[in-house]
Amino acid sequence: MSAKRLKTHRVEKPWGRHHLWPGFADPAPDGEPVGEIWFQDEADDAPELLVKYLFTAEKLSIQVHPDDKAAQAAGHPRGKDEAWVILAAERDSTIAIGTRQPVDRETLRAAALGGSIERLVDWKPVSAGDVFYSPAGTVHAIGAGITLVEVQQNVDLTYRLYDYGRPRELHLDEGIKVSDARPFVPDFAPEEAESGRTILAEGPKFVLERWRPPSHRTIVMPQGVPGWFVPVAGAGNIGGAPWKAGETWLIEDAAPLSAEEGSDILFAYPTAKRLDTVFQS
């Protein structure tokens, strides 16, 4: 099949919510809050990328992810670059990404142990439409009151540096070792590649695009390069099957696409550089 709808997996988190997002059923009021929804391919337990929705009522831990080399040395298949597209945020919502100034490892460890790391990281205000590509090694935390889509290298590997007193394991030795604790400077600004196609982030581990496509196109992927089709608004047909917002599809080879007016689609694929084109008329 050229287009496959991925299965959803709900993940309960202490920082999650009971009111999620249109298209996703809310957990029971007396149940555990849901923080993440993952989209997984049952036929492949190790694809290169993973797509998630995140729903935050509280801050996530201050954390860091290793790069490929460090992750593989620890027995994992890959490291973890990730990107976030903000769908909604409360007025005072923030994301911490990078530190306010360069911090050496000894200072970072002491700050994590004492709690002052909350003041070392750079909390940036966010609103709907903001995009961040966070390379491995970046010290970061997602704040409260945010709904976002995350695209990441597919590995469940997080080193918590600080968790606001929650009774969860920290990973200071591993985390301090892989942290690149310095101010975050984005190395890419979104740009329009062609009509209806905007490049949100470009490499080094994947490319993330946003589409508002004309009503009928064909997605064409190079041999061996899969694409993750993530509609956040709208509905249509892909590869002969109906799609709607809140789903994620895996695209291989070519898939005819139709989209109703106003559709808003994210699309990701694991290459360092954007494809010259992904649409054919």
Is 91 a residue of the active site?
no
Cβ neighbours around 75 below 10 Å, total: 6
The two three-digit tokens of residue 184, written as one number: 């975050």
219-224 long-range contacts (CB < 8 A, ≥24 apart) are: 219/251, 219/254, 219/255, 219/256, 219/257, 219/278, 219/279, 220/253, 220/254, 220/277, 220/278, 220/279, 220/280, 221/251, 221/252, 221/253, 221/254, 221/269, 221/275, 221/278, 222/275, 223/253
**Whose CA is closest to 205, among 92, 85, 48?**
48
The answer to whether 34 touches 16, Cβ cutoff 8 Å, is: yes
List 5, 78, 109, 160, catalytic entry: 160
The two three-digit tokens of residue 216, written as one number: 């009928």
In angstroms, the Cα distances linking 162 to 14, 115, 170, 182 are 15, 7, 7, 17
Say how many CA atoms lie within 13 Å of 242 toward its Cβ.
4
Strand partners, 279: 219
Active site members? 160
